[in-house]
Structure 1
Amino acid sequence: MAPPQASTPLNARATPSPFDRNHDLPHLRNGKGRQYDQSNTSSLSHEQVEGLRRQSNLSTLSLSPRRPSFAPSAAARTRRTTPLPFSAGADADESSFLGQSVDEGAPWTMVDRMRNWRNDAMTQHLYDSAKFWGGKVLGMTGNADDAFWLAQIHFLTHQFAQAERILTSPRPPLAASTSTAAPVRLTDMSLACRYLAAQCQVRLGKWDEALDMVGRRGGLGQDFGDGKSDGGIKLTASAAHLRGLIHLHMKANELAKEAFMEALSRDVKCFESFEMLVGGEMMSSEEEWDFIQSLPYHAQTDEDAEFIRMMYTVRLKKLSHSNDMTIARQRLSDEYGLGDDPDVLCSRADELHSSMRYAECYKITGHILARHPSHRPTLPLHLSCLHHLPNLRSRLFLFAHDLVENEPDDAISWYAVGLWYFAGKRWEESRRFFGKSVLIDPRFGPAWLAYAHSFAYEGEHDQAITAYSTAQRHLPGSHLPMLFIGMQHLGLANVALAEEYLLAAKEVCKDDPLVLNELGVVALHNQQFDIAVQYFRETLGLARHAQSSPASWVSTQLNLAHAYRKLKQYDKAYPAFRRVVELDSRCAAGYSGLGIVEHLRGNFQDAIARYHEALSISPGDPITCDLLKLALDEVSAHTARNAHPFPGLPPRVLQSLDEQVAALDAEILAGIEPEPLEGERSAAMDASAVEEGMSRSEDMVEMSFEGDEDEDDGDEGEGETMDMTGG
């Protein structure tokens, strides 16, 4: 949906924006395109239009006051009368770009000295002094540059309305201008004034007016090889970045993405736009890589091109192009001495975190935060490591407490608190703090995902899907929300929907092994076992390529083993299950899988042993109990079919046991009292002998009792006074 159109204020002229697509400047086509379109610039004089055109490569460095030159030569004393570069009709040559003296070697005037006082007072935060002298300079010169600096002082002191009035109030034309046009606004003559006025309007909540000031659309499809600047950030790039922020506020994410890409293309040094695109997950992994590598580094900063490109490269996503990033980190360390730079170290930490090597990642993030406690890209990684390592939960509590105490208005602080409750499985309390975090910063991705996870772990699948969908709107370049939505649909047995979301996640990021694992699970549900084996093997291959810990992928190895079992490839299933047990000796499902394979092979005793091992780890598991019962029943049936000998019977009995049993059945049916079988006779003889021996022993015991009674009768009193010591 297109952003709403801004209404034109009464008594105000509709000033064409130099940033508008319909009024692109000729430099956007490297001087090979059409001339500057003046069809809608009738309210501006030719000098004003030309002045705006020449300012497209400038930065605010060219507005700095001229500096004194010591011991000027006689030849250097020739006074130049060129206006300041951001004034209407400015010449804007290279010397003015570099902030050099316009009047080289000329003695300082009173205006020059007051300009120096103004900027020096602003640098020392003496804003009242800066306003005082800046107001006097503007009153004496009426120059757009002086208006810019005075408005800048008001902006720094949060007097946004006053700054906007200075920049947008109509003023009489400059004395140098030969035009007889009506008074014009400074924003019609100076890109710097236009940009600063838009910044003021943003702070005042005038979003539509600010968008009109910087232009609603940019020329993204045009050639931005618009020449080198003075080393500062080009104002056209800053204006494009501001346009992107305004579009983000208006929920026009595609227009915002376009504006940020334009800003980076106009000036590769505009790091804010890079951070919004990459840190804000606005681009997919491959799209991000292709765009960053294709920026005109050499065309804009030939000497520093490789350095800027490598610094941006190490900040990209770590699931692909890991070799290129490793080379970039090595070169930054060797050639520029940035081996201990927080951004370079954070790149390595992020790579370890993506590989689920949390202990190693924690060592690097701890080192970074020890030297740079507020390095924002490192904080979410550090908190995640504290959550995943169980022995560090107490440190997570202390770290979250420090963050809230020092930065109570930061989204990361409340995210850390929610993460501590999440680690304790207190889902509802963690969700409250995650919600507070996303209210502070709606584009903070980790908090959105953790907020949705709290619903998922609580079993609230529908609410979890809604939260993941919201995260997807805020993070359009991330594949994780779609991945987790697919996992939730799998939990709800919506296999078709799950596959649709998982394939969409794979389109965004094809190098995430977790996506391939979930697609393999979908194939298992669909009984496409060959496809499932392929997905699981690809998953394990990507995990090895990323140097991930094999123990992190036990579930994938288990899924692969079951897929082999379903294909009846027991020779592959058995070693796969053995690998599961090697990676996790407490995995009951691995022992159960080994038991199933042995059971299917007919090795019942081994199967029963594996089932018992599984039940020793997970007692009462219903599936394993059922499998064990089936195995025991199979053993019993097999024993009955093969007439295995019963323990304790002599061999001569076992030779004719079946015949004797059959004869006994016939005699019972004929009504004849059966004679004892051979085995029974021998058993009876043994029993009679035992009984006889028992009776003899009982007689002996009785005789002994009688003798004792006689002795007691003869000496009854001594029995009562028996000496227990034997004396």
Structure 2
Amino acid sequence: MDRVLLLPNLTRARYRPFTHPPINNTGELVEHLKCLSLTKFDFHPTGTYANKQFAMEKFLRVWRQDALNKHQYDSAIFIGDKLLALTNNDKDAFWLAQVHFSTGNYTRAQGFLSRQDLISRNPSCKYLAAHCFIKQSKFDEALAILGEKNPTHLITSSSNSRRKLQHADGNSKNGSMRAGKGVYKLDRVDKSEEREREDATNIKFEAAMCFLRGTCYAKLNAFDRAKECYKDAVRIDVQCFEAFDQLMKNTLMSPDEEWAFLESLDFDSITVADENPSSSQEAAEFTKMIYTTRLSKYKNPALFTAATETLSTHYNLAENPDLLLSKAELLFTQCRFSEALGLTTSILESDKYNFSIYPLHLACLHELNQKNTLFLLSHDLADNHPDEPCAWLAVGIYYLTINKIAEARRFFSKASMMDPHFGPAWIGFAHTFAAEGEHDQAISAYSTAARLFQGTHLPQLFLGMQNLQLNNMTLADEYLKTAYGLCRTDPLVLNEMGVVFYHQDHLKEAADMFNQALRVADEIDSDPSAWIATRANLGHAYRRMDMLPEALETFKEVLRQGGRDAGVFSAKGLVLLQMGKGFEAVVALHEALALNPQDPIATDLLGKALESSSRVGITGAMPGVGWVEDPEEEERFEKLLTVRKRDAVRKVEQGRRGRASGGSGSGGPSTGVPDRRRSEASMMEVSDEDG
């Protein structure tokens, strides 16, 4: 029987299949081909030799895949080597390099790719070779393979490929799908011509190589270029989640940028191998919703809630760890720490070492002062996962919670050295300096965090607060305005801006800022008790503006919400004293001293209030109190007044000897947890100057 030969890499128009007489053995066939100057050849499947080789290749590939499924990499390497020798096929060489990569043999993987000269001919092999260099921390060599230019011609914008969602109508030619409460339709249109010419698999590898370029630039501290590479990767392939995750996890974009970027993505490029066209539409909408849950929680909480509800009800993701974490992050921004802790605890009960949960979980524990839980958790992580930065972050937070600042700083530093791009460790490291009043070192550490994490407003906020501590109002104002530009919906930023206005004697602007902070806190459904200090600041602004009834009502509201602080009672007493209600002022100041017996301001104001009450009582009517001119009653009041004056003088002397220096200010440094925010705003105190 004649055998048919097909010449490789040659067009059929020029070289047609030809027949050859039977050849008795393979050696004769190879010699004959050498005479024809052919180096590569394939048999037509109808040939006996071709059938046997095809069966052997199939057998070896199944064996290799079975070994990979069992993580028996030595077996996979052994079989893959024989398969490559048999076929000399690019795909088999790539798979063998993949197995070596999985075992950490990056140099051997590169060797296979280089020997076959696959790097220049195949996008997937170029990606793998660059990845090998990155794993060896050879970022310049990786960039040399990848090149510095992104294939932006493969990007399709949302505006060109997809019209905006519209309500479905009877004339719709496309399938409709349910998203949230309404029914919408997606108009799917053709991709660009350049994209059509590219193989789908190659497009995905081109996007993956954009992601690797971003990784290289990030490791080289070129964060602007890294951000653009990550964005191009997701624009080219919207399913390149690694790049999207880097943008979100490292907060390389502000909240406004994140939402604008999401709207620019071409989710219609997602296709599903299904006869039903609505499957691709549903997959596109599903992907957009799960991406929405990863965005900043400071903006559009309503859209976030709608996405989570749809994913929970329609796709049974209510108990999914990533979705629960997103809900906990939203609760944390609302200062609802107990609820957020409940969600993170439920995740860790089923997946104890899910390290993406720990930064938020540790933050909640710190805010709620859960010292014992932090102690046990930090010990468990340090014992079982000493190679994880989160383990040492937990130890640092524990020491910060028990106010051992030096120890906390050491472990925050260790976590940041293990992963230089670990945001929580950098913020915690800066917090330790702030807690000790080392403002210059704190500013330096916060500045590093601001450079590493350009999209978050927290480092800028903390820089503004530190300059406020140093009374550098101009710098504080600049940093806080930068923070406000990045995030306009954080009440803490608005509170600190109001504090700056207050100390610059711009009292009306300060009151406006405090009111805006309280309004935003109410809009995002934040815990009212978290903003007691902001309301107290508003009362001080009203008091200095001589809006005494408003100030008095504000301080009463602070007390009703649980702000039972000596400073608040002192402020209330001062307002009452200014309103001429001396007796009520005495009562308020006594309550302040009951909470803090050595409060110098309350003691001083009490003396003034007693003197005022004495003068009013002797001369006639006391505002708000019916005064009876009875000699015996008057004598009893004088004795009481004398005793109170003597007690007040004694308390003043004790306070001068025993108290630390104090005064009015913007409030202390953040006591919040790394990469997060503190629960309490700065609160201005009453001072003698204010009176």
Q: Give the TM-score normalised by the residue count of structure 2.
A: 0.74
Q: 1:540 to 1:106 in 2, by over 3 A?
A: farther
Partners of 1:625 and 1:382 lie apart in 2 by: 42
SS at match of 1:377: coil
Shift of 1:205: 3.3
Partners of 1:285 and 1:259 lie apart in 2 by: 19
Alignment counterpart, residue 275 of structure 1, candidates 236, 241, 245 = 245
Q: 1:353 to 1:231 in 2, by over 3 A?
A: farther
Which residue of 1 is the match for residue 226 of structure 2?
256
Shift of 1:327: 0.5
Matched, 1:223 2:169: no
Q: 1:597 to 1:220 in 2, by over 3 A?
A: farther
Alignment counterpart, residue 451 of structure 2, candidates 473, 479, 482 = 473
**1:96-107 matched pairs, under 5 angstroms:** none
Partners of 1:412 and 1:585 lie apart in 2 by: 35
Consecutive unaligned residues in structure 2, runs of 5 or more? 1-8, 11-50, 157-190, 272-279, 622-627, 636-691
Q: 1:207 to 1:232 in 2, by over 3 A?
A: closer
Matched, 1:284 2:254: yes
Shift of 1:551: 1.1
Partners of 1:381 and 1:135 lie apart in 2 by: 47
Q: What is the letter of the counterpart of residue 400 of structure 2?
A: F
Report if the CA contact (8 A) 2:123-2:202 is conserved. Answer: no
Shift of 1:632: 2.8
Q: How high is the sequence identity, in percent, across the aligned residues?
A: 41
Partners of 2:634 and 2:257 lie apart in 1 by: 83
Alignment counterpart, residue 297 of structure 2, candidates 301, 318, 336 = 318
Which residue of 1 is the match for residue 333 of structure 2?
354
Which residue of 2 is the match for residue 202 of structure 1?
134
Shift of 1:135: 2.2
Which residue of 1 is the match for residue 76 of structure 2?
130
Shift of 1:240: 1.0
**Could you list the per-position Cα deviations for residues 39-73 of structure 1 after superposition, in whole angstroms to 9, with x for gaps in the alignment?**
xxxxxxxx99xxxxxxxxxxxxxxxxxxxxxxxxx
Q: 1:241 to 1:164 in 2, by over 3 A?
A: same
Partners of 1:496 and 1:508 lie apart in 2 by: 19
Q: What is the letter of the counterpart of residue 218 of structure 2?
A: L
Partners of 1:649 and 1:238 lie apart in 2 by: 89
Partners of 1:205 and 1:383 lie apart in 2 by: 31
Which residue of 1 is the match for residue 106 of structure 2?
160
Shift of 1:106: 11
Number of residue pairs matched by the alignment: 535
Which residue of 1 is the match for residue 143 of structure 2?
211
Which residue of 2 is the match for residue 407 of structure 1?
385
**Could you list the per-position Cα deviations for residues 506-559 of structure 1 after superposition, in whole angstroms to 9, with x for gaps in the alignment?**
001111110000000001011111111110111011111121111111110000
Report if the CA contact (8 A) 2:124-2:202 is conserved. Answer: no
Q: What is the letter of the counterpart of residue 265 of structure 1?
A: R
Shift of 1:396: 1.4
* Aligned-residue RMSD, C-alpha: 2.6
Query: Which is bigger in relative contact order (C-alpha 8 A, separation at least 6)?
Result: 2
Q: 1:617 to 1:215 in 2, by over 3 A?
A: same
Which residue of 2 is the match for residue 462 of structure 1?
440
Partners of 1:624 and 1:499 lie apart in 2 by: 31
Shift of 1:649: 11
Larger radius of gyration: 1
Partners of 1:435 and 1:546 lie apart in 2 by: 34
**1:70-109 matched pairs, under 5 angstroms:** 108-109=54-55
Which residue of 2 is the match for residue 380 of structure 1?
359
SS at match of 1:338: coil
Partners of 2:469 and 2:296 lie apart in 1 by: 29
Q: 1:318 to 1:233 in 2, by over 3 A?
A: farther
Report if the CA contact (8 A) 1:404-1:413 is conserved. Answer: yes
**1:301-450 matched pairs, under 5 angstroms:** 301=271, 302-303=280-281, 304-390=283-369, 392-450=370-428
Q: 1:482 to 1:296 in 2, by over 3 A?
A: same
Q: What is the letter of the counterpart of residue 387 of structure 1?
A: H
Alignment counterpart, residue 147 of structure 1, candidates 85, 93, 101 = 93
Which is further off, 423-432 or 445-454?
445-454
Report if the CA contact (8 A) 2:566-2:599 is conserved. Answer: no
Which residue of 1 is the match for residue 33 of structure 2?
none
Q: Give the TM-score normalised by the residue count of structure 1.
A: 0.70
Partners of 2:138 and 2:86 lie apart in 1 by: 31
Q: What is the letter of the counterpart of residue 68 of structure 2?
A: M
Q: What is the letter of the counterpart of residue 142 of structure 2?
A: A
Shift of 1:217: 2.5
Alignment counterpart, residue 647 of structure 1, candidates 631, 655, 680 = 631
Which residue of 2 is the match for residue 563 of structure 1?
541
Matched, 1:628 2:598: no
Shift of 1:107: 9.1
Which residue of 2 is the match for residue 714 of structure 1?
none
Shift of 1:646: 7.9
Shift of 1:376: 3.0
SS at match of 2:119: helix
Report if the CA contact (8 A) 1:318-1:350 is conserved. Answer: yes
Q: 1:645 to 1:119 in 2, by over 3 A?
A: closer
Report if the CA contact (8 A) 1:233-1:270 is conserved. Answer: no
Partners of 1:648 and 1:124 lie apart in 2 by: 99
Q: 1:620 to 1:205 in 2, by over 3 A?
A: closer
SS at match of 2:149: coil
Shift of 1:269: 1.6
SS at match of 2:148: coil
Partners of 1:133 and 1:461 lie apart in 2 by: 62
Partners of 1:126 and 1:649 lie apart in 2 by: 98
Report if the CA contact (8 A) 2:151-2:206 is conserved. Answer: no
Partners of 1:468 and 1:604 lie apart in 2 by: 47
Shift of 1:232: 10
Partners of 1:517 and 1:287 lie apart in 2 by: 24
**Could you list the per-position Cα deviations for residues 689-713 of structure 1 after superposition, in whole angstroms to 9, with x for gaps in the alignment?**
xxxxxxxxxxxxxxxxxxxxxxxxx
Q: 1:585 to 1:495 in 2, by over 3 A?
A: closer
Shift of 1:354: 1.0
Shift of 1:639: 5.6
SS at match of 2:471: coil
Matched, 1:115 2:61: yes
Shift of 1:472: 1.1
Report if the CA contact (8 A) 2:123-2:205 is conserved. Answer: yes
Report if the CA contact (8 A) 1:218-1:240 is conserved. Answer: yes
Which residue of 2 is the match for residue 619 of structure 1?
597
Alignment counterpart, residue 554 of structure 1, candidates 532, 542, 549 = 532
Report if the CA contact (8 A) 1:417-1:433 is conserved. Answer: yes
SS at match of 1:409: coil
Partners of 1:217 and 1:167 lie apart in 2 by: 22
Partners of 2:122 and 2:154 lie apart in 1 by: 23
Matched, 1:580 2:512: no
Report if the CA contact (8 A) 1:229-1:300 is conserved. Answer: no
Partners of 1:223 and 1:125 lie apart in 2 by: 37
Q: What is the letter of the counterpart of residue 206 of structure 1?
A: K
Partners of 2:154 and 2:77 lie apart in 1 by: 41
Alignment counterpart, residue 265 of structure 2, candidates 295, 300, 303 = 295
SS at match of 1:187: coil
Report if the CA contact (8 A) 1:356-1:548 is conserved. Answer: yes
Report if the CA contact (8 A) 1:260-1:273 is conserved. Answer: yes
Report if the CA contact (8 A) 1:580-1:587 is conserved. Answer: no
SS at match of 1:244: helix
Shift of 1:115: 2.9
Partners of 2:59 and 2:241 lie apart in 1 by: 34
Shift of 1:209: 1.8
Q: 1:146 to 1:649 in 2, by over 3 A?
A: closer
